[in-house]
Amino acid sequence: MKNKVVTIVGLGLIGGSIARVIKPFVKKLYAIDNDKGIIKFAIEQCIIDSAPKNPLGESDIVILCIYPNASLDFINDNIDNFKKDAILTDTVGIKTPIMQLYNKLKPHFTYIGAHPMAGKEVSGFINSEKQLFDGANFIITPSDDATDEQISVVEKLAFAMGCDIVIRTTVDEHDRIIAYTSQLPHIIATAMCDTPLLVKHRNFTGGSFEDVTRVAKINENLWSELFLGNKQHISEQIKIFTASLEKIEKAIINDDKKTLIQIMRKVRLDKEMVDNADPKG
């Protein structure tokens, strides 16, 4: 990527963290952000090279690090500003809406969706950090017209960011899977904290409660867009989860220790297998 000019759109938690880590790997790093104070600070701290007026015209790679709906607006508003054969990628947590827009517009650049599986329960450039993606999974969802060479550029970007595993899939498959692995945990954490008991019993908690509820400190503006953009898959996952919950509750109510142990043992063995197989340990 040493010969690529890159523009990051949005210097928030994700865009800021990407900027902090990839600058040594690229030719020029530009950024676009509504907050001119952040742009000024990022230039002063050498986190980006500069912020020219029309960076898209000379950018080989453009990385959208803004909200789902803002990403659609940005593409619509800047469709003619992109360099020919540029790669547009992003970090949006759902992949179908941008791909639908891309397939409709058929622009002169190539869209390769991306989703680094990392984040924090706080937001903004102030919380961005170089190590945010260390060891993370990175999902790529290329458009049908992306070449292997273009895809490999985005893969290199992922490894430059510090990600460990890069997985390629389709936008449909991504959005179906992410409903289970990312959106369901956020919804569960929110539902668990959606009770006055949270405040009332705060001195009766231990590690299990802290962990299950960590992401309840949720960015409601971002996540409401992510949830509404993936409603069918989320609804399906909530059904699967609720069925398991009911099965466990029934075993408890019926004093059915055998079933209860059977469910928990199977889950424990699967979880141990997954954790041990995971290179993140």
Binding residues among 233-252 for a second copy as defined by CB under 8 A: 234-235, 238, 240-242, 244-245, 247-249, 252
* Comparison of 56 and 132: residue with beta carbon closer to a second copy: 132
Region binding a second copy by CB under 8 A among candidate stretches 16-24, 25-33, 116-124, 143-151: 116-124
With respect to a second copy, which residue has the nearer C-beta, 24 or 207? 207
C-alpha angle 224-110-9 in degrees, rounded to nearest 5? 50
Considering only residues 31 through 60, tell me which ones interact with a second copy, judged by CB under 8 A: none
Separation in Å, CA 48 to CA 62, 201, 202: 14, 46, 42
Task: Give the shortest CB-142-to-a second copy separation in angstroms.
Answer: 16
Query: For a second copy, which is the closer residue by CB, 34 or 244?
Result: 244
What are the b/e assignments for 1-29, b being 16+ CB within 10 Å?
A: beebbbbbbbbbbbbbbbbbbbbebbebb
Segment contacting a second copy by CB under 8 A, of 5-13, 15-23, 29-37, 184-192: 184-192
Which pairing describes strands 110-116 and 87-90: parallel, antiparallel, or unpaired?
parallel
Question: Is residue 150 within 8 Å of 112, Cβ to Cβ?
Answer: yes
Residue 1 in the binding site for a second copy (CB under 8 A): no
- Which one of the spans 18-26, 60-68, 71-79, 207-215 is the region binding a second copy (CB under 8 A)? 207-215
> Which CB atom, from 47 or from 92, has the smaller least distance to a second copy?
92
Given the structure tokens 């109510």, which residue do they identify? 253
The CA distance from 140 to 135, in Å, is 16
